[in-house]
Chains A and B, each alone.
Chain A
Amino acid sequence: GGIITQTPKFLIGQEGQKLTLKCQQNFNHDTMYWYRQDSGKGLRLIYYSITENDLQKGDLSEGYDASREKKSSFSLTVTSAQKNEMAVFLCASKTGGEQYFGPGTRLTVL
């Protein structure tokens, strides 16, 4: 079986700071995703990528950049962290109809 790892597990930033979250998968899946999880708002898609060097915007892409330089990795950058922001960012990859999720990165902005 495969695994998705996300680093870091916890991320504390300052207002205005650029922050980068990383995701690695060894499933050899083509498509990867970044979601933001907020209580009461579900999982909202930020970016996804259907292959290396491809990037597709989701509904929540404003304020974020993404990078897919290798098939196995997908990075997300918060371009300017917002004060008091707290959220969990989930990475996923897909095969057939199923998405496999990583354990998440919990972001806190002071």
Chain B
Amino acid sequence: GDSVTQKEGLVTLTEGLPVMLNCTYQTIYSNAFLFWYVHYLNESPRLLLKSSTDNKRTEHQGFHATLHKSSSSFHLQKSSAQLSDSALYYCALSDLYGSSGNKLIFGIGTLLSVKP
């Protein structure tokens, strides 16, 4: 079945270093949408990035990701980590225009901890 894999459960970084959170997926959807949601402590999860276009970089709030359908990947990156980036990050998959378009399939989440 369809699935999203986030290999790292915890990523610990020093402030100023680059961030890369891995996301790979498996799907039969021909029109897959990939999402990154961020969940800060004591807040609601919210959408950070989304894309359905192959090989096109999408950016928001200093983060960027590129959907690569050839490798089924949608890794989240940032050039320089900030303390305020510490949060739980979820990668998610949907077939937006298909019969399963109402559902998101989430990965297990990656907890990013940025230290001074």
Contacts and interface: CB of A to CB of B under 8 A. Distances in A.
Nearest to A49: B102
B115 interface: no
B50 A98 contact: yes
Interface string A81-96: 0000000001000100
A1 interface: no
B103 A45 contact: yes
Contacts of A4: 44
Interface residues of B, number: 21
Interface in B92-113: 94, 96, 102-104, 106-109
Interface residues of A, number: 23
Output the residue of B46, B102, B107 with the most chain A CB within 10 A.
Answer: B102
16 contacts: A4-B44, A31-B102, A35-B106, A40-B9, A41-B108, A42-B6, A42-B108, A58-B103, A90-B45, A97-B33, A99-B37, A99-B47, A99-B104, A101-B44, A101-B46, A104-B44
